[in-house]
């Protein structure tokens, strides 16, 4: 409980510090009573050391154009099998909207054109799937942290939950819907982007059109494709299997850091 609270406080501290992820960001936060309490505990020290002091915003390695994989596999769903998605893709995703809601001050619905108008980031990174393959691709999209700052987070915010258009497993109760979640530290990581471009073109259907998550310090299954909605929550308990993601509900680790 305190661990989560503290991570959120740390995050707010560093966000307020105008990108100061180093010592000044920490100085801000250490004054908080909650944080002081946790820092006295061994668990707090580990958390502090691992995620915020030693590598507060450690970047995943970035590659060059020459390193791009000639073939980048598609994995899991390669074309969501439902009417609603088919209709959206037929119209070139003109009618698609990304909904951002939950514990935010200003819920929003953004079109692809809206997203493309925002400042973007391009990165060439290696994608690692637990199934034993990797590929290097170039991704272009909107930094998630920037978007979250513009919708404004409520103090209770802890996680971003990503809802996808596809059911990877066909079930009667809808529990086969692909979804994922990350904490706010990963959400504000500079390489965490909502990608609409891949290898210099619009993201194709096999790789998650019109929009997918890239969360570069995590394994492949965290990189949710076919994004429809981002909900900011204080817990993901009660969502389908309660473990924070399609694969997590089937036994994978929620924290898939690499
Ligand atoms: N919506 C959705 N997102 C998903 C999946 C999926 O089946 N559905 N598969 C995941 C897995 S296991 C991997 S390795 C990557 C694969 O991305 P790619 O198809 O672009 O290679 O997407 C991840 N995101
Ligand atoms: Mo994967």
Give nearest CA residue, ligand 1 atom 20: 207
| Beta carbons within 10 angstroms of residue 1's beta carbon | 5
- The 10s digit of each residue's pLDDT in 173-205 is 888 999 999 999 999 999 999 999 999 999 999
What pLDDT is stored for residue 37 in this prediction?
45
What pLDDT is stored for residue 153 in this prediction?
95
Pocket of ligand 1 contains residue 225 by CB under 6 Å = yes
Q: Residue 169 Cα, ligand 1 centroid: separation in angstroms?
A: 13
C-alpha closest to that of 155 among 197, 201, 104: 104
Mean pLDDT of 148-159: 94
Q: Residue 137 Cα, ligand 2 centroid: separation in angstroms?
A: 15
Q: Residue 156 Cα, ligand 1 centroid: separation in angstroms?
A: 29
Whole-angstrom distance, CA of residue 210 vs CA of residue 227: 7
Q: Which ligand is nearest to the CA of 75?
A: 1
Q: Which of 69, 72, 75, 98 to mutate to test the pocket of ligand 1 (most atoms within 8 A of CB)?
A: 75
- The 10s digit of each residue's pLDDT in 47-65 is 434 444 344 678 999 999 9
Whole-angstrom distance, CA of residue 154 vs CA of residue 251: 31
**Does 210 sit behind a cis peptide bond, omega within 30 degrees of 0 on the bond before it?**
yes
What pLDDT is stored for residue 174 in this prediction?
85
90 with 204: CB under 8 angstroms?
Answer: no
- Is residue 3 pLDDT above 90, yes or no? no
The token pair that represents 219 in the structure block: 């394994």
DSSP readout, 66-115? GG--S-----S-SS--SHHHHHHHHTTTTT--EEEEESBSS-EEE-HHHH
Pocket of ligand 1 contains residue 186 by CB under 6 Å = no
Kindly indicate whether the domain formed by 57-250 is annotated with CATH number 3.90.420.10: yes
Q: 82 CB contacts (<8 Å, ≥6 apart)?
A: 165, 166, 167
**Which atom of ligand 1 lies nearest, measured to the CA of 127?**
14
What pLDDT is stored for residue 56 in this prediction?
61
C-alpha closest to that of 136 among 43, 214, 58, 76: 214
Q: Which ligand is nearest to the CA of 224?
A: 1
Whole-angstrom distance, CA of residue 96 vs CA of residue 122: 23
**Which atom of ligand 1 lies nearest, measured to the CA of 220?**
14
What pLDDT is stored for residue 172 in this prediction?
86
Q: Where in the chain is the domain with CATH 3.90.420.10?
A: 57-250
- The 10s digit of each residue's pLDDT in 219-250 is 999 999 999 999 999 999 999 999 999 999 99
Going by DSSP bridges, is the β-strand pair 98-102/227-233 parallel, antiparallel, or unpaired? Answer: parallel
What pLDDT is stored for residue 166 in this prediction?
98
Give nearest CA residue, ligand 1 atom 18: 74
Q: Residue 224 Cα, ligand 1 centroid: separation in angstroms?
A: 6
């Amino acid at each position: 409980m305190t661990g989560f609270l503290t991570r959120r406080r740390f995050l707010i501290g560093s966000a307020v510090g105008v990108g100061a992820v180093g010592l000044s960001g920490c100085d801000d936060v250490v004054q908080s009573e909650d944080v002081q309490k946790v820092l006295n505990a061994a668990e707090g020290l580990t958390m502090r050391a691992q995620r915020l002091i030693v590598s507060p915003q450690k970047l995943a390695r970035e590659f060059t154009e020459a390193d791009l994989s000639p073939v980048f596999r598609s994995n899991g769903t390669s074309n969501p099998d439902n009417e609603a998605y088919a209709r959206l893709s037929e119209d070139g995703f003109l009618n698609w909207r990304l909904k951002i809601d939950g514990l935010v001050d200003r819920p929003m619905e953004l079109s692809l054109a809206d997203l493309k108008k925002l400042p973007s980031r391009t990165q060439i990174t290696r994608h690692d799937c637990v199934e034993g393959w990797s590929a290097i691709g170039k991704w272009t999209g909107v930094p998630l942290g920037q978007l979250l700052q513009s919708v404004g987070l409520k103090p209770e915010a802890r996680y971003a939950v990503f809802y996808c258009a596809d059911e990877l497993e066909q079930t009667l109760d809808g529990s086969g819907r692909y979804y994922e979640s990350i904490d706010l530290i990963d959400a504000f990581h500079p390489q965490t982007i909502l990608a609409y471009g891949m290898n210099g073109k619009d993201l194709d259907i096999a790789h998650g059109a019109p929009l997918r998550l890239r969360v570069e310090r995590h394994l492949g299954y965290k990189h949710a494709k076919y994004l429809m909605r981002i909900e900011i929550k204080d817990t993901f308990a009660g969502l389908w299997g309660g473990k924070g993601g399609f694969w997590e509900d089937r036994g994978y680790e929620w924290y898939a850091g690499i």
